[in-house]
Chains A and B, each alone.
Chain A
Amino acid sequence: NAGVTQTPKFRVLKTGQSMTLLCAQDMNHEYMYWYRQDPGMGLRLIHYSVGEGTTAKGEVPDGYNVSRLKKQNFLLGLESAAPSQTSVYFCASSYQAVYEQYFGPGTRLTVT
């Protein structure tokens, strides 16, 4: 039981490049989330999903897109990376709303 895994762990992009972050969970959770965390700050919710095929905007969705084609996977895309998107990205999942969230190890993204 791996829990929540994230791919890749580190990535450096140039401004304007695109990339996709992959999150996978093996706990059969309905809810999945993408957060970003900037130095010394709390986590901010980017997008979330309440089930396969659904997505919804969180607090800071601009510049990101997501997809949940399979229940176990939640993808976060950056179409045109900007230096302001330099951050650590965390994925999480939970069984239902207001249940314990399980977090992945994070992806450290640097945009130059």
Chain B
Amino acid sequence: LAKTTQPISMDSYEGQEVNITCSHNNIATNDYITWYQQFPSQGPRFIIQGYKTKVTNEVASLFIPADRKSSTLSLPRVSLSDTAVYYCLVEEAENYGQNFVFGPGTRLSVLP
């Protein structure tokens, strides 16, 4: 079971780039790294997923070093609407679901 560790909270200002790092020391060969965003009173929403190196989509980038023991979610030029909780997950392709765990996440506050 690849447990994840993230900072509990972060503060940023509008227009800044925010990087949230997640540790997953026990990640296995076939595991994927996925990030979700959750606003109050809503279900989580998928942001990005990766296996290695760098993945970029229209809202974020995900950086994964060669050893894959950590990953960094990068949000470019955040706005007030990016204030939310961000969850890092390690998804096991084998025995999927048996060890599926959302940690407490990182509470990001974007200030004006």
A residues bordering B, Cβ < 8 Å?
4, 31, 33, 35, 40-45, 48, 50, 56, 58-59, 90, 92, 97-98, 100-106
Contact = CB atoms under 8 A, between A and B. Distances in A.
Contacts of B93: 97-98
Contacts, number: 62
A96 to B, nearest CB: 9
A97 B97 CA distance: 8
A103 B101 contact: no
B41 interface: yes
B102 A43 contact: yes
Nearest to B85: A42
Given A42-B104, A43-B44, A97-B93, A56 B49 contact: no
A6 B102 CA distance: 21
Please tell me the size bucket of the interface on B.
20 to 34
Candidate in A31, A58, A98, A100 with the most chain B CB atoms within 10 angstroms: A98
Interface in B61-85: none
Nearest to B51: A98
Contact of B104 (A35, A41, A102, A106): A41
A34 to B, nearest CB: 11
Contacts of A33: 97, 100
A12 to B, nearest CB: 17
Given A56-B97, A97-B91, A102-B46, 14 more contacts: A31-B97, A41-B104, A42-B102, A44-B101, A45-B102, A50-B97, A58-B98, A58-B100, A90-B44, A98-B34, A100-B49, A103-B42, A103-B45, A105-B43
A106 B49 contact: no
A100 B90 CA distance: 13
B46 A101 contact: yes
B7 interface: no
Given A98-B91, A98-B93, A42 B105 contact: yes
